[in-house]
């Protein structure tokens, strides 16, 4: 369960206060694929960062299951995020000096999982990279990098995967393949994926679609 | 112009970045400037003291007076060049009071003596031309404190010198013209030159020194004028001296300091260069994507290059201005403090030379060191740059212009080809170690880590940091290189600092209180018996024979003239030492302040067959270009004496015992005309007076100089020098630490993105801090190890070459500086981490 209760977020731009999200209420009970669409600057990424606990709301509360994320301190948030949330970025954000295997293995090792290497190898095989595990990011293509990022997000089996325009930096064909990997893995592992995207066609492949408009989140379908 | 507009936008959009960048650069440059200025002021202060010793800008002196023809030529030549002129005649003569007769050093002076410097007399204070006119009008004499005591004279008493009876007018309290000129053979008195003839002391065959002093319109021309004067007066018996030559009396000590100041200048220069080039290179690597974008929108390579150059020049100018502003602001405070030590001589402010050096450093060095990276950057494909990557590697040849420039600057700063080159060679060795051995080690480490969980070996933070070290080769090598060069330079300073201080102040021997000169051969036995009977702590008298070096290995030693313009210290030393008249002595072996460093002891008393054996002071031998086994020929009062060098000695000069550069074995010089000198060991002031009285009564011809005050003055000067060395070393170390701090800061700022990623993956803040700490600690440790070892090696070589081989290992410094550097590393990481950590995750998402 994910719940936003009267969440508002304002930023200061110089001396001007900019309201990005306003009195946002939203509840998601079922697992599945959720798309959040909206124009550029509408607040999609802000919503995602609030959900990931990377930023605090100006007003309101955010709950994931029984935990009020906005009440957690820095250390609690880090632990909560490590075991409950996986994040996929548009620009991959892999650790350049680590191999694909090490990048995927790392979140497991942080939480002290014992057979981290085996699990990481399995997930990499799921995304079709079993023969690239010892390659460094600069030896991988864009699509491969994003698949490593997907594997890294999934490897801890988090409750929620947050994906910020994951195919935005890829060509259409590669992007489609990557998204297919993302969706298939989510369904296979029965996980909730919250996908921020501009792409209406991609959004339509999700189980539900929400749109951010005029600082509010509206259920489209 | 597009490049200018781009640079303008860069400054406008990233003002804070560039301000911080300039500030970093500025602080490094301020340190350099202070060292540069400090060195300049110390040198100037010493030069001023040298000028006071000489008491003019240039002096012509000799045992004989210049002939009428020579004088005419000299005066014609000097007429348009000088502002003031004075003459001095000095000689040894017996002085006689009602009850005593003793040898005196009499100086006949003219109204305007000294042209530079001052004399203080008890009755007048600082004397002026009015007082000296009086001295020339009436038979008055100013006496030194020794004369006052030995003759029991008071103001108004009579002292007969030659045929004239002078009235004591005052006691000399201070005299800059001879304070540091070494010991004269008898106590000094001043009388008017107008009485020279009447004293009837100057007659045919009398030894008198005649000196003509000139103050020049342009004192900087002294050396070239000297050369021309030497062409006019070709007789070697007449010497032309400049303040530089006057300071040769102190040349060994000042030479040490000067060499060391040169070294610190080089270190400051290189430290600044390392820091600045690192900062600029980091900047260029941060701008790869931006360059890719510019290229992709059609901006030409030359425009991009120009854009970078404009930025480098602007930052250089900004930093130079900020540095000059800061230096001008802080200099008065520093000056006030340093005046205490330099007695008002600390005059030099920010000169054009300093401005030029800072500007040159910030611009030329930057351009030369950034040039290789820029050239690689401009060769890149646009797509590679857009990915923020670089293909290919830097050609080491491209660094050659920068390396040559720094090498030349090092020689210029050190005034020595050898010192400059030794430093450069050491840095090159560091470069080779870091660029060849370290990459091999990193490759092996990387292979071992592949396929191993990140949490191994040891722990997750440790395993993580090891991977960063092994795989982020460019950063690892650049950082270790910069740090190890920095540590090498700091270590050199620390190690040399102790060696030099030890050399200057180490003597544990009790210092002498009285020096006895002119002891005749037949008096030696009586003197020894007398002193024993009266319990006077007299050391064994030492013989002294005046001689001149004629040949080295059979070749006649030629008089060398100083060439015009820049000359290195090595050339100056060679010239100086080849022109010397010398004092010889003989002894069966070494005394307490000497140590054999090469060769063997004397074989015993000279048998008369084969060559005589001679021992040389090591530094003297080196500068003379003589080794063990070489032969030297001396002229001792017309007789040639040929000798073979059998050993080299190291002398602790600060023992103030009678030591000689050249000591013969017994049996060679015993029959030569000679006098003896002896010292009375340190005793209380009251005992000194008592002993003086006893000696004066029993050995009236022996000259006694009370040296305790002079020795105290010299030791005090050594302490000031040691203090100066300490301050300059500290300045240099502070600059070095700041440069290292800047390097660490710059590295940490680059790691922000990775820290954010670590946080997202569930790393606790403490773990991220540990990873960073492990990584930098390892790099710091490797750099400190390489730097410390190289620093010790360089210090040893420099000590061997320039400090008489005196190398004292400074363990405390080594440990202290390494702890300080490590603490600096940890603290920089800790504070930067605390400052940046909480801000960076959101930046990542908005990226």
3 state DSSP class of B560 = coil
- What's the per-residue H, E or C state across B193-212? HHHHHHHCCCCCCCCEEEEE
Measure A17 CA to nearest chain B CA, in Å: 18
Q: Averaging pLDDT over each range in B393-397, B479-483, B522-526, which range is the top one?
A: B522-526
Residue in A79, A93, A156 closest to B844 by CB? A93
Q: How many CB atoms lie within 10 A of CB B1?
A: 10
pLDDT at B245 over 90: no
B467:A49 CB<8 A: no
A109:B455 CB<8 A: yes
Q: Is B383 on the interface with A (CB under 8 A)?
A: no
pLDDT at B568 over 60: no
- Mean pLDDT of the B338-364 span: 66
B842:A49 CB<8 A: yes
Measure A85 CA to nearest chain B CA, in Å: 9
Cα separation, B489 vs B271, in Å, equals: 8
Percent of residues, chain B, with pLDDT higher than 90: 6
Question: Pick from B168, B182, B179: which is nearest to B114 by CA?
Answer: B179
Q: Is B43 on the interface with A (CB under 8 A)?
A: no
pLDDT of residue B249: 43
pLDDT at A37 over 90: no
**Is B803:B496 a contact under the CB 8 Å cutoff?**
yes
pLDDT at B802 over 80: no
Q: Is B458 on the interface with A (CB under 8 A)?
A: no
Cα separation, B161 vs B166, in Å, equals: 7
pLDDT of residue B736: 62
What is the band of B577 on the pLDDT scale with cuts at 50, 70, 90? very low
Q: Is the dihedral of CA B96, B100, B102, B108 positive or negative?
A: negative
First to last CA, chain A: 18
Chain A residues whose beta carbon lies within 8 Å of the beta carbon of residue B386: none
Residue in A52, A79, A98 closest to B467 by CB? A98
Higher-scoring residue by pLDDT: B585, B256 = B585
Chain B residues whose beta carbon lies within 8 Å of the beta carbon of residue A48: 845
Place of tokens 């270190």: B267
Residue B433 exposed, middle or buried by CB count within 10 Å (0-12, 13-18, 19+): middle
Q: Is B760 on the interface with A (CB under 8 A)?
A: yes
Backbone angles phi and psi of A125, in degrees to 5: -70, -40
Indicate whether this model's pTM tops 0.90: no
Cα separation, A96 vs B758, in Å, equals: 12
Cα separation, B136 vs B113, in Å, equals: 12
Q: Is B638 on the interface with A (CB under 8 A)?
A: no
A95:B847 CB<8 A: no
pLDDT of residue B199: 84
Task: Give B7's strand partners.
Answer: none
B760:A87 CB<8 A: yes
Chain B residues whose beta carbon lies within 8 Å of the beta carbon of residue A95: 754, 757
**Is A57:A31 a contact under the CB 8 Å cutoff?**
no
Q: Is the dihedral of CA B258, B262, B267, B268 positive or negative?
A: positive
Place of tokens 């450093």: B361
* H or E stretch covering B436: none
Residues 6+ apart with CB under 8 A from B765: A74, A75, A78, B759, B837
Residue B631 exposed, middle or buried by CB count within 10 Å (0-12, 13-18, 19+): middle
Cα separation, B113 vs B109, in Å, equals: 6
A95:B845 CB<8 A: no
Measure B759 CA to nearest chain A CA, in Å: 7
Q: Is the dihedral of CA B610, B611, B615, B619 positive or negative?
A: negative
Q: Is B759 on the interface with A (CB under 8 A)?
A: yes
pLDDT at B615 over 90: yes
Q: At CB < 8 Å, which residues of chain A contact B?
A: 45, 48-49, 52, 54-55, 74-75, 78-79, 81-83, 87, 89, 91, 93, 95, 97-99, 101-102, 105-107, 109-111, 116-117, 134, 136, 138, 152, 156, 164
Higher-scoring residue by pLDDT: B380, A34 = A34
Chain A residues whose beta carbon lies within 8 Å of the beta carbon of residue B455: 109, 116
Two tokens, residue A3: 């719940």
**DSSP conformation class of B181:** S
The two beta strands, B639-651 and B612-617, are parallel
Count chain A–chain B contacts defined by CB atoms under 8 A: 75
Q: How far is CA B303 from CA A34, B5, B11, B366, in A?
A: 48, 11, 17, 19
Q: Is the dihedral of CA B798, B804, B809, B814 positive or negative?
A: negative
Chain A residues whose beta carbon lies within 8 Å of the beta carbon of residue B760: 52, 54, 81, 87
Residue in B455, B761, B841 closest to A54 by CB? B841
What is the band of B43 on the pLDDT scale with cuts at 50, 70, 90? low
Cα separation, B626 vs B644, in Å, equals: 10
pLDDT of residue B170: 92
Cα separation, B6 vs A210, in Å, equals: 42
Whether the complex's predicted ipTM surpasses the cut of 0.90:
no
- Mean pLDDT of the B496-511 span: 64
Question: Pick from A81, A27, A52, A83: which is nearest to A164 by CA?
Answer: A52
Residue B94 exposed, middle or buried by CB count within 10 Å (0-12, 13-18, 19+): middle
pLDDT at B565 over 50: no
**Is B774:B461 a contact under the CB 8 Å cutoff?**
yes
Chain B residues whose beta carbon lies within 8 Å of the beta carbon of residue A109: 453-455, 460
pLDDT at B439 over 80: yes
Chain A residues whose beta carbon lies within 8 Å of the beta carbon of residue B468: 97
pLDDT of residue B203: 64
Q: Name the CA dihedral angle for B778, B784, B787, B791, rounded to a multiple of 10 degrees.
A: -160
Residues 6+ apart with CB under 8 A from A159: A64, A65, A84, A85, A191, A192
Judge if the upstream peptide bond of residue B225 is cis by omega within 30 degrees of 0.
no
What is the band of B374 on the pLDDT scale with cuts at 50, 70, 90? confident
pLDDT at B840 over 70: no
Judge if the upstream peptide bond of residue B114 is cis by omega within 30 degrees of 0.
yes
Cα separation, B384 vs B390, in Å, equals: 6
pLDDT of residue B208: 77
pLDDT at B836 over 70: no
pLDDT at B749 over 80: no
Helix, strand, coil percent content, chain B, rounded in steps of 5: 60, 15, 25
Residue in B454, B472, B845 closest to A45 by CB? B845
pLDDT at B571 over 80: no
pLDDT of residue B338: 60
Chain B residues whose beta carbon lies within 8 Å of the beta carbon of residue A87: 760
Residue in B454, B753, B842 closest to A102 by CB? B454
Measure A143 CA to nearest chain B CA, in Å: 15
Place of tokens 């820029």: B374
Residues 6+ apart with CB under 8 A from B798: B263, B419, B422, B492, B496
A110:B767 CB<8 A: yes
Cα separation, B634 vs B625, in Å, equals: 16
Measure B461 CA to nearest chain A CA, in Å: 9
pLDDT at A90 over 60: yes
Backbone angles phi and psi of A43, in degrees to 5: 115, 15
How far is Cα of residue B503 from the mean position of the Cα atoms in its chain? 14
**Is B81:B228 a contact under the CB 8 Å cutoff?**
no
Chain B residues whose beta carbon lies within 8 Å of the beta carbon of residue A92: none
pLDDT of residue B137: 92
**Is B292:B383 a contact under the CB 8 Å cutoff?**
yes
* Tens digits of residue pLDDT in A180-192: 888 887 887 778 8
Two tokens, residue B651: 């002398």
B761:A82 CB<8 A: yes
Chain A residues whose beta carbon lies within 8 Å of the beta carbon of residue B765: 74-75, 78
Measure B783 CA to nearest chain A CA, in Å: 22
Measure B459 CA to nearest chain A CA, in Å: 10
* Tens digits of residue pLDDT in B128-171: 888 889 989 999 999 988 888 878 888 899 999 888 899 999 99
Measure A54 CA to nearest chain B CA, in Å: 6
Count H helices, E strands: chain B? 28, 22
Residue of chain A whose Cα is closest to the Cα of B847 = A91
Measure A94 CA to nearest chain B CA, in Å: 8
pLDDT at B426 over 50: yes
**Is B829:B748 a contact under the CB 8 Å cutoff?**
yes
Higher-scoring residue by pLDDT: A85, B592 = A85
Residue in A48, A81, A93 closest to B757 by CB? A93
Residue in A83, A97, A102 closest to B472 by CB? A97
Q: How many CB atoms lie within 10 A of CB B126?
A: 11
Residue in A54, A74, A105 closest to B845 by CB? A54
pLDDT of residue B533: 82
**Is B190:B109 a contact under the CB 8 Å cutoff?**
yes
Question: Pick from B753, B770, B756: which is nearest to B829 by CA?
Answer: B770
pLDDT of residue B180: 39
What is the band of B191 on the pLDDT scale with cuts at 50, 70, 90? very high
Q: How far is CA A6 from CA A66, B175, B400, in A?
A: 17, 91, 65
Cα separation, B802 vs B805, in Å, equals: 7
A110:B761 CB<8 A: yes
């Amino acid at each position: 369960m994910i719940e936003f209760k009267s969440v508002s977020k304002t930023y200061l731009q110089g001396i001007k206060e900019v309201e990005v999200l306003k009195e946002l209420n939203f509840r998601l009970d079922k697992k599945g694929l959720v798309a959040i669409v909206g124009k550029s600057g509408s607040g999609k990424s802000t919503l995602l960062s609030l959900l990931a606990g990377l930023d605090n709301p100006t007003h309101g509360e955010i709950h994931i299951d029984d935990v009020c994320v906005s009440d957690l301190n820095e250390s609690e948030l880090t632990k909560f995020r490590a075991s409950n949330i996986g994040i996929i970025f548009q620009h991959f954000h892999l650790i350049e000096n680590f191999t694909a295997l090490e990048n995927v293995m790392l979140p497991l090792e942080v939480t002290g999982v014992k057979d981290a290497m085996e699990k990481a190898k399995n997930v990499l095989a799921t995304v079709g990279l079993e023969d690239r595990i010892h390659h460094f990011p600069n030896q991988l293509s864009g699509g491969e990098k994003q698949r490593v990022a997907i594997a890294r997000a999934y490897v801890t089996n988090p409750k929620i995967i947050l994906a910020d325009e994951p195919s935005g930096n890829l060509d259409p064909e590669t992007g489609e393949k990557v998204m297919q990997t993302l969706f298939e893995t989510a369904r296979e592992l029965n996980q909730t994926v919250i996908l921020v995207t501009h792409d209406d066609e991609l959004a339509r492949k999700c189980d539900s679609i929400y749109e951010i408009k005029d600082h509010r989140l509206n259920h489209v379908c | 112009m597009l490049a200018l507009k781009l640079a303008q936008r860069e400054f406008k959009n990233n003002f804070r970045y560039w301000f911080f960048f300039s500030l970093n650069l500025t602080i490094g440059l301020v340190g350099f400037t202070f060292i540069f200025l400090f060195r300049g002021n110390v040198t100037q202060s010493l030069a001023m003291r040298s000028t006071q010793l000489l008491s003019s800008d240039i002096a012509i002196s000799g045992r004989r007076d210049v002939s009428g023809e020579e004088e005419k030529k000299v005066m014609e030549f000097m007429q348009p060049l000088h502002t003031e002129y004075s003459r001095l005649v000095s000689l040894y003569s017996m002085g006689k009071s009602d009850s005593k007769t003793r040898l005196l050093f009499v100086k006949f002076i003219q109204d305007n003596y000294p042209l530079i410097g001052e004399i203080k007399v008890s009755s007048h204070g600082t004397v002026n031309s009015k007082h000296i006119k009086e001295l020339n009008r009436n038979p008055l004499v100013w006496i030194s404190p020794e004369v006052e005591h030995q003759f029991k004279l008071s103001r108004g008493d009579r002292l007969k010198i030659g045929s004239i009876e002078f009235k004591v007018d005052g006691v000399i309290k201070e005299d800059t013209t001879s304070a540091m000129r070494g010991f004269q053979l008898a106590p000094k008195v001043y009388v008017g030159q107008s009485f020279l003839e009447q004293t009837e002391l100057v007659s045919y065959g009398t030894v008198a020194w005649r000196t003509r002093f000139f103050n020049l319109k342009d004192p900087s021309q002294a050396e070239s004028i000297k050369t021309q004067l030497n062409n006019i007066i070709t007789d070697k018996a007449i010497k032309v001296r400049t303040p530089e030559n006057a300071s040769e009396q102190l040349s060994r000590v000042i030479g040490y300091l000067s060499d060391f100041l040169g070294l610190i200048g080089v270190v400051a220069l290189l430290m600044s260069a390392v820091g600045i080039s690192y900062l600029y290179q980091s900047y260029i690597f941060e701008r790869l994507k931006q360059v890719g974008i510019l290229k992709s929108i059609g901006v030409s390579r030359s425009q991009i290059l120009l854009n970078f150059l404009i930025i480098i020049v602007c930052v250089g100018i900004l930093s130079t201005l900020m540095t000059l502003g800061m230096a001008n602001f802080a200099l008065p405070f520093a000056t006030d403090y340093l005046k205490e030590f330099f007695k008002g001589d600390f005059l030099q402010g920010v000169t054009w030379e300093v401005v030029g050096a800072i500007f040159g450093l910030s611009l030329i060095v930057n351009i030369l060191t950034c040039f290789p990276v820029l050239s690689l950057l401009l060769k890149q494909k646009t797509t590679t740059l857009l990915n923020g990557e670089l293909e290919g590697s830097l050609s080491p040849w491209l660094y050659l212009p920068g390396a040559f420039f720094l090498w030349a600057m090092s020689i210029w700063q050190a005034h020595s080809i050898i010192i400059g080159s030794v430093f450069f060679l050491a840095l090159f060795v560091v470069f080779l170690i870091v660029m060849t051995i370290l990459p091999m080690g990193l490759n092996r480490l990387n292979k071992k880590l592949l396929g191993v969980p990140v949490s191994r070996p040891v722990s997750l933070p440790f395993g993580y940091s090891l991977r960063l070290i092994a795989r982020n080769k460019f950063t690892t090598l650049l950082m270790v290189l910069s740090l190890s060069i920095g540590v090498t330079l700091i270590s050199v300073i620390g190690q040399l600092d102790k060696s030099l201080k030890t050399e200057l102040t180490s003597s544990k021997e009790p210092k002498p209180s009285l020096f006895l000169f002119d002891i005749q051969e037949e008096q030696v036995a009586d003197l020894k018996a007398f002193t024993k009977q009266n319990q006077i702590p007299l050391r064994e008298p030492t013989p002294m024979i005046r001689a001149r070096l004629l040949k080295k290995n059979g070749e006649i030693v030629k008089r060398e003239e100083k060439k015009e313009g820049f000359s290195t210290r090595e050339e100056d030393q060679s010239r100086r030492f080849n022109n010397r008249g010398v004092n010889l002595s003989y002894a069966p072996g070494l005394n307490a302040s000497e140590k054999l460093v090469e060769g063997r002891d004397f074989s015993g008393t000279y048998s008369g067959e084969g060559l005589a054996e001679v021992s040389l002071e090591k530094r003297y031998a080196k500068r003379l270009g003589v080794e063990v086994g070489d032969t030297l020929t001396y002229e001792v009062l017309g007789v040639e004496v040929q000798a073979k060098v059998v050993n080299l000695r190291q002398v602790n000069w600060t023992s103030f015992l009678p030591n000689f550069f050249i000591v013969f074995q017994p049996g060679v010089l015993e029959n030569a005309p000679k006098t003896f000198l002896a010292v009375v060991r340190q005793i209380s002031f009251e005992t000194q007076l008592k002993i003086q009285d006893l000696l004066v009564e029993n050995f009236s011809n022996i000259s006694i100089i009370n040296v305790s005050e002079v020795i105290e003055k010299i030791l005090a000067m050594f302490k000031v020098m040691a203090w100066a060395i300490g301050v300059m070393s500290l300045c240099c170390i502070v600059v070095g630490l700041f440069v290292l701090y800047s390097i660490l800061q710059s590295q940490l700022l680059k790691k922000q993105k990775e820290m954010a990623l670590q946080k997202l993956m569930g790393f606790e803040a403490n773990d991220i801090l540990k990873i960073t700490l492990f990584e930098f600690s390892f790099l710091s440790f490797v750099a400190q190890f390489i730097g410390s070892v190289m620093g010790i090696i360089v210090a040893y070589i420099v000590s061997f070459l320039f400090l008489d081989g005196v190398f004292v290992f400074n363990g405390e410094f080594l440990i202290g500086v390494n702890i300080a550097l490590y603490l600096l590393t940890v603290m920089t990481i800790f504070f930067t981490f605390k400052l940046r950590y909480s801000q960076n995750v959101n930046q990542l998402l908005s990226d």
